[in-house]
């Protein structure tokens, strides 16, 4: 929705007055899947699809939340909002973030808020991180103004606060990748992020004659959060087993491929062993992929993307028939350099790097094949990359 349109809706809902605008993007992860919570390096990029938030401070402690595409309005107060855990149909990311900001000493003021999302929900493109980061930025900004603190907001701190909201209010023990990408993304760059240290580098995405094409299976990952936490527990179990023979490792990302191959039998459970195999090999792939991208070798980058999907399909087992189908069909098409699932999995999107001349053909062909096979349509986004969270 155009910003002017949003402002009109805001005024109709909340009356005339000052309007502040914040925005924060979704992300696509190019490579490095399900390793952020194991201390691995990941390579997401912020999208142009984003959450836009129009906000106005109030003089009391009432919080009103509304989205442009939803009929309901959530109304609460700063002192009562902690009671809403598990009770909301919508608005929990926002409330979770406000509560975490409070724990860090931010002064949460009453506020009227209107959200507009162009990141598809449940598509694995971090629509939730986009909401969280825009909300955290908005309230941190208002708090600093109220306290007379004149310093630039630390966007890494904002990302960490947003992640804690997921852990504590939503109940998903997510890594830091999504919130970091949403907060710290940069147009035409990937964020090469070491999730153990939070050191990062913006790597230029010189895609030359290629585009990033997302294919949304429109399968919402409803089982995602329980399966997600299950994978985290499996990683923990594998790590503990490996520590008995490799006492110096702190996280799975510290384990080299040779060490894993030498010691993998200490992981007795076969399924757990497969999970750890994915993590160890994926960590290695990301490093090589970053080099490939820096060397402008998109074809090689694409091969790592393909290998990443295979590992997620067979070893980590977080794909689904729809994702695997798009990947299998896509790989056989002319001009597709690499294709894999992106995000948490169990539904959502694939990301592909495709030669520009082949993009239309890909969309047309996959569209037909997908609908023929599954009886519902896939959606396609030929996407640009955008900047991280900011006030507009
Ligand atoms: C979700 C989580 C991230 C990350 C990915 C998988 O998007 O929020 O932290 O673990 O899944 O790579």
Structure tokens at 172: 């998903």
H helices of 63-154, where? 92-103, 127-147
> Residue 164's domain is classified under what CATH number?
3.30.230.10
Question: Has residue 100 been placed in a domain?
Answer: yes
Tell which residue, 203, 194, 247, 243, has the closest CA to residue 38: 194
Residue nearest to atom 8 of ligand 1 (CA): 174
Tell which residue, 338, 328, 378, 386, has the closest CA to residue 358: 338
167 torsion bin: left (phi>0), alpha (psi -120 to 50), beta (else): alpha
Question: Has residue 356 been placed in a domain?
Answer: no
Active site residue 112: no
158 touches ligand 1 (CB under 6 Å): no
CA 337 – CA 289 distance, rounded (Å): 13
Calculate how far, in angstroms, residue 92's C-alpha sits from the geometric centre of ligand 1: 18
Q: Which residues of the chain have pLDDT under 50?
A: none
Atom of ligand 1 nearest to the CA of 166: 8
Q: What is the dihedral of CA 331, 332, 333, 336, to 10 degrees?
A: 30
324 touches ligand 1 (CB under 6 Å): no
Atom of ligand 1 nearest to the CA of 35: 12
Tell which residue, 74, 144, 73, 76, has the closest CA to residue 110: 76
Tally Cβ neighbours within 10 Å of residue 108: 20
Atom of ligand 1 nearest to the CA of 124: 7
Question: Has residue 148 been placed in a domain?
Answer: yes
Question: Has residue 110 been placed in a domain?
Answer: yes
**CA distances (Å), 95 to each of 122, 163, 365, in order?**
19, 13, 42
CA 102 – CA 79 distance, rounded (Å): 11
Calculate how far, in angstroms, residue 35's C-alpha sits from the geometric centre of ligand 1: 8
Mode of pairing for the β-strands spanning 336-341 and 390-391 = unpaired
> φ, ψ for residue 174 (rounded to 5)?
-70, 160
Of the residues 178, 254, 284, 315, only one is catalytic, namely: 178
What's the length of the chain? 392
Residue nearest to atom 2 of ligand 1 (CA): 174
Calculate how far, in angstroms, residue 235's C-alpha sits from the geometric centre of ligand 1: 14
Confirm if 59 and 37 have CB atoms less than 8 A apart: no
CA 19 – CA 322 distance, rounded (Å): 42
**What confidence score (pLDDT) does residue 224 get?**
63
How many structural domains is the chain composed of?
Answer: 1
Calculate how far, in angstroms, residue 175's C-alpha sits from the geometric centre of ligand 1: 6
The sign one gets for the Cα dihedral 130, 131, 135, 138 is positive
132 touches ligand 1 (CB under 6 Å): no
Q: How many helices (H) and strands (E) does the chain have?
A: 11, 13
Question: Has residue 139 been placed in a domain?
Answer: yes
140 torsion bin: left (phi>0), alpha (psi -120 to 50), beta (else): alpha
Mode of pairing for the β-strands spanning 210-216 and 349-355 = antiparallel
Question: Has residue 302 been placed in a domain?
Answer: no
Calculate how far, in angstroms, residue 36's C-alpha sits from the geometric centre of ligand 1: 7
**CA distances (Å), 101 to each of 93, 220, 350, in order?**
12, 29, 33
- Across the strands, what pairs with 340? 351
Confirm if 345 and 33 have CB atoms less than 8 A apart: yes
Task: Extract the runs of DSSP E, i.e. beta strands, from 195-309.
Answer: 200-204, 210-216
222: Cα separation from own chain's centroid: 16
CA 72 – CA 50 distance, rounded (Å): 21
Structure tokens at 180: 């970091």
pTM: predicted TM-score of the whole model, two decimal places? 0.97
CA 320 – CA 323 distance, rounded (Å): 5
Q: Rounded to a whole number, what is the distance in angstroms from the first to the last CA of the chain?
A: 15
Question: Has residue 56 been placed in a domain?
Answer: yes
Q: What is the dihedral of CA 29, 32, 33, 35, to 10 degrees?
A: -130
Confirm if 283 and 253 have CB atoms less than 8 A apart: yes
**CA distances (Å), 85 to each of 92, 99, 169, 252, 278, in order?**
7, 11, 6, 32, 34
Host domain of residue 180:
3-204
119 touches ligand 1 (CB under 6 Å): no
Q: Looking only at Cα atoms, what is the longest distance across the chain?
A: 68
SS3 state of residue 96: helix
């Amino acid at each position: 929705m155009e910003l002017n349109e949003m402002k009109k809706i805001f005024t109709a809902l909340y009356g005339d007055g000052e309007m502040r605008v914040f925005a924060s993007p979704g992300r696509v992860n190019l490579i490095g899947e399900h390793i952020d919570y194991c201390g691995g390096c990941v390579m997401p990029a912020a999208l142009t699809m984003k959450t836009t938030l129009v906000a106005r401070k109030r003089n009391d402690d009432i919080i009103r939340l509304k989205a442009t595409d939803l009929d309901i309005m959530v109304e609460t107060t700063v002192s009562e909002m902690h009671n809403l855990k598990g009770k909301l149909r919508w608005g929990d990311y926002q409330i979770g973030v406000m509560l975490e900001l409070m724990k860090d000493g931010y002064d949460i003021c009453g506020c009227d808020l209107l959200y507009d999302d162009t990141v598809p929900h449940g598509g694995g493109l971090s629509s939730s991180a986009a909401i969280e980061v825009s909300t955290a930025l908005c309230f941190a900004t208002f708090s600093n103004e109220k306290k007379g603190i004149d310093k630039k907001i630390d966007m890494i701190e904002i990302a960490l606060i947003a992640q804690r909201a997921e852990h504590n209010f939503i109940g998903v023990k997510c890594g830091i990748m999504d919130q970091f990408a949403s907060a710290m993304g940069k147009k035409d760059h990937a964020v090469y992020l070491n999730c153990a240290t939070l050191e990062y580098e913006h790597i230029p995405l010189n895609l030359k004659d290629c585009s990033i094409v997302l294919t949304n299976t429109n399968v919402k990952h409803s089982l995602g959060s329980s399966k997600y936490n299950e994978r985290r527990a499996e990683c923990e179990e594998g790590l503990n087993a490996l520590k008995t023979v490799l006492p110096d490792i702190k996280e799975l990302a510290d384990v080299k491929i040779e060490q894993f191959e030498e010691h993998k039998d200490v992981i007795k459970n076969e399924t757990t062993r497969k999970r750890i195999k994915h993590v160890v090999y994926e960590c290695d792939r990301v490093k090589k992929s970053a080099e490939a991208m820096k060397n402008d070798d998109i074809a090689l980058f694409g091969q790592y993307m393909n290998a990443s999907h295979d590992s997620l399909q067979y070893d980590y087992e977080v794909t689904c028939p729809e994702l695997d189908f798009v990947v299998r069909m896509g790989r056989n098409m002319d001009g597709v350099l690499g294709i894999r699932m992106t995000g948490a999995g169990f539904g959502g999107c694939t990301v592909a790097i495709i030669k520009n001349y082949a993009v239309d053909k890909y969309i047309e062909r996959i569209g037909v094949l997908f609908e023929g096979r599954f009886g519902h349509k896939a959606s396609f986004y030929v996407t640009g990359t955008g900047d991280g969270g900011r006030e507009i």
